[in-house]
Amino acid sequence: MTIRKIATIGHPVLRQRSREITREELASEATQRFIDDLIETMRDASGAGLAAPQVYEPIRIVAVEVKKNARYPYKPDIPLTVLVNPVIEALTDETFDNYEGCLSVPNLRGVVARATEVRLRAWDRHGNDVDTVVRGLSAGTFQHECDHLDGAVFLDRVKDTHTLSTWTDFERFHMAAFVERARALVERYGS
Ligand code: ZN
């Protein structure tokens, strides 16, 4: 396994629509190795998720995993999930204000409205169908990663630029209030 370089904002690979991959491609050794690298890179960078274009591969694959995450200590755990060609659909108009960060947008966080409940349809890394509903704070993580596949980053969805903050100032000025809101959400949805 190889830890890959992460593309940062300004690189065109983050701004294009990534392409679907075929079952044959998915089954190939190269793609399976790539998925291992994607997971390894996500873990190495303490990301809650990582999308293939963030490591310069414009294909529709994302990995998500939260396990007592150091970057996001308030996030509930999410078991390792690899989604191939995911289709995400909001199941409600209800949103919550999520304070997001991104490995491709160094040292910046901002508030983004995310649906509290989404349906995800995809393949797993072995080509098996995935059809699942994710709620609460975890729903935001999946929306963030799927956005990357369409060339969007969280900054595009920040409505109030006054919420933008460095990581240090997030901890100093915004984290306490956000964690309180996040806890209420996690309590309500269990995720
Ligand atoms: Zn991101």
pLDDT level of residue 173 (50, 70, 90 thresholds): very high
Average pLDDT over residues 4-16: 98
Check the CA dihedral 165-141-88-22 and report its sign. Answer: positive
pLDDT digits (tens, 9 = 90+) for 12-31: 999 999 999 999 999 999 99
User: How far does residue 130's CA lie from ligand 1's centre (Å)?
Assistant: 22
Whether 180 is catalytic: no
pLDDT digits (tens, 9 = 90+) for 72-94: 888 899 999 999 999 999 999 99
User: How far does residue 59's CA lie from ligand 1's centre (Å)?
Assistant: 15
Domains within the chain, CATH numbers bracketed:
12-189 (3.90.45.10)
* β-strand partners of 117: 135
pLDDT digits (tens, 9 = 90+) for 152-170: 999 999 999 999 999 999 9
User: How far does residue 91's CA lie from ligand 1's centre (Å)?
Assistant: 22
Residue 71 has pLDDT above 90, yes or no: no
User: How far does residue 141's CA lie from ligand 1's centre (Å)?
Assistant: 9
Residue 118 has pLDDT above 90, yes or no: yes
**Whole-angstrom distance, CA of residue 38 vs CA of residue 163:** 30
Q: Name the residue among 69, 67, 66 with its Cα closest to residue 139.
A: 66
Q: Are 53 and 39 in contact (CB under 8 A)?
A: no
| Number of Cβ atoms within 10 Å of the Cβ of 84 | 24
pLDDT at 69: 84
Of the listed 57, 65, 100, 145, which one is catalytic? Answer: 145
User: How far does residue 105's CA lie from ligand 1's centre (Å)?
Assistant: 7
User: How far does residue 104's CA lie from ligand 1's centre (Å)?
Assistant: 6
